[in-house]
């Protein structure tokens, strides 16, 4: 009777062990899982190379939005000033008066007017064909310089938009490579071992896209805005040439009337 009781107890303990073994395995799997699978947690658990990639992409995204804000403010201010100067050029006025009104300005249209006034002074106010050609050359150089100035910074956006996805992909490849190395060292293909490293690696690709997509969109937007501003500078150059041409014709007309 005592022998049967011992046998029954052993059988019950064995059955209890079988019933508890899945739960024990589940608990072991949970022990292998990281405590935090949020983006910040995955960043903290990532390899130093992947962390460097993520920080670089975050800085690139910050540079993108900084350039967008700075160039938007700059273009809005310069466009408003240029329209105001062009309205002044469209009036019935002379070059000396326009130059005096824009003497203290450092905007693009003011530079065009001041350059034309300097050439007029150097030419002794002689309105001939050579003078018009010299004015046109000066205006062309000033317009090109102002166009280069207004376009500064957009090349950085193009670089970020073109390279950020590949930088993120590099971080992903490096992270997945480390994940496979971890699988080899752990001698297991348990998802709890594989998933965290792959998630950290894919986070680098996500950050690459987050940096690249706004950079491309903002670059295209600023390119169109800069092209519109350049067209405005071209209109200002034409208005300066028309003003000089009218002033020259009036001078010739006054000389002709005096000769009569």
My answer on whether 24 and 43 are in the same domain is no
pLDDT at 255: 34
DSSP state letters, the chain: -HHHHHHHHHHHHHHHHHHHHHHHHHHHHHHHS-S--SHHHHHHHS-HHHHHHHHHHHHHHHHHHHHHHHHHHHHHHHHHHHHHHHHHHTSS--HHHHHHHTTT--SHHHHHHHHHHHHHHHTTT--SHHHHHHHHHHHHHHHHHHHHHHTTTHHHHHHHHHHHHHHHHHHHHHHHHHHHHHHHHHT---HHHHHHHHHHHHHHHHHHHHHHHHHHHHHHHHHHHHHHHHHHHHHHHHHHHHHHHHHHHHHHHHHHHHH-
Tokens of 218: 């903002």
* Co-location of 147 and 207 in the same domain: yes
Whether the predicted pLDDT of 253 surpasses 60: no
What average pLDDT does the segment 36-57 reach? Answer: 71
- Same domain? For 166 and 198 the reply is yes
- pLDDT for residue 215 is more than 80: yes
What is the reported pLDDT for 220?
95
In this structure, the answer to whether residues 45 and 138 fall within a common structural domain is: yes
pLDDT at 20: 39
Q: What is the mean pLDDT of the chain?
A: 76
pLDDT at residue number 163: 93
pLDDT at 190: 64
Q: Is the pLDDT confidence value at 4 over 70? A: no
Segment 174-198, tens digit of pLDDT: 888 877 777 777 666 666 666 666 7
Q: Are 46 and 21 members of one domain?
A: no
Q: What is the mean pLDDT of residues 150-160?
A: 91
Across 211-227, average pLDDT: 94
**Mean pLDDT on 124-141:** 80
Q: Cα–chain-centroid distance for residue 72? A: 12
Our count of domains for the chain comes to 2
- Model pTM above 0.75: no
Clarify whether residues 3 and 96 are in a common domain. no
- Do 160 and 234 belong to one domain? yes
Looking at residue 218, what is its pLDDT? 95
Shared domain check, 113 and 27: no
CA 225, 231, 236, 237 dihedral sign is positive
User: Cα(125)–Cα(112) distance, rounded to whole angstroms?
Assistant: 17
Confidence bin at 39 (pLDDT 50/70/90):
low
Confidence class for position 77, pLDDT limits 50, 70, 90: very high
On whether both 59 and 77 belong to a single domain, the answer is yes
Same domain for 165 and 133: yes
- Are 14 and 69 contained in the same domain? no
What mean pLDDT is predicted for residues 66-81?
92
Q: Pick 165 or 11 by higher pLDDT.
A: 165
Domain of 182 in residue numbering reads as 38-259
Confidence tier at 32 by pLDDT (50, 70, 90): very low
Q: Which of 92-96, 119-123, 193-197, 199-203 has the lowest mean pLDDT?
A: 193-197
Asked whether the beta carbons of 69 and 218 are under 8 A apart, the reply is: no
> Do 9 and 76 fall into the same domain?
no
């Amino acid at each position: 009777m005592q022998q049967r009781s011992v046998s029954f107890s052993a059988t019950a303990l064995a059955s209890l062990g079988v019933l508890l073994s899945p739960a024990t395995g589940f608990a072991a799997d949970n022990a292998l899982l990281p405590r935090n699978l949020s983006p910040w947690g995955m960043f903290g658990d990532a390899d130093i190379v992947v962390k460097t990639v993520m920080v670089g992409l975050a800085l690139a995204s910050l540079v993108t939005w900084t350039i967008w804000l700075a160039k938007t403010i700059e273009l809005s201010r310069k466009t408003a000033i240029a329209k105001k100067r062009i309205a002044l050029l469209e009036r019935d006025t002379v070059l000396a008066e326009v130059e005096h009104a824009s003497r203290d300005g450092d905007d693009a249209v003011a530079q065009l007017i001041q350059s034309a006034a300097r050439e007029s002074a150097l030419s002794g106010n002689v309105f001939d064909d050579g003078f018009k050609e010299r004015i046109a050359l000066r205006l062309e150089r000033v317009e090109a310089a102002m166009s280069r100035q207004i376009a500064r910074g957009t090349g950085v956006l193009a670089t970020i938009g073109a390279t950020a996805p590949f930088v993120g992909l590099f971080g992903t490849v490096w992270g997945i490579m480390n994940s496979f190395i971890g699988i080899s060292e752990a001698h297991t293909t348990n998802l709890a071992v594989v998933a965290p490293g792959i998630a950290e690696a894919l986070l680098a690709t996500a950050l690459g896209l987050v940096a690249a997509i706004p950079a491309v969109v903002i670059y295209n937007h600023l390119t169109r805005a800069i092209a519109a501003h350049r067209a405005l500078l071209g209109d200002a150059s034409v208005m300066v040439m028309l003003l000089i041409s009218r002033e020259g014709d009036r001078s010739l007309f006054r000389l002709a009337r005096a000769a009569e």
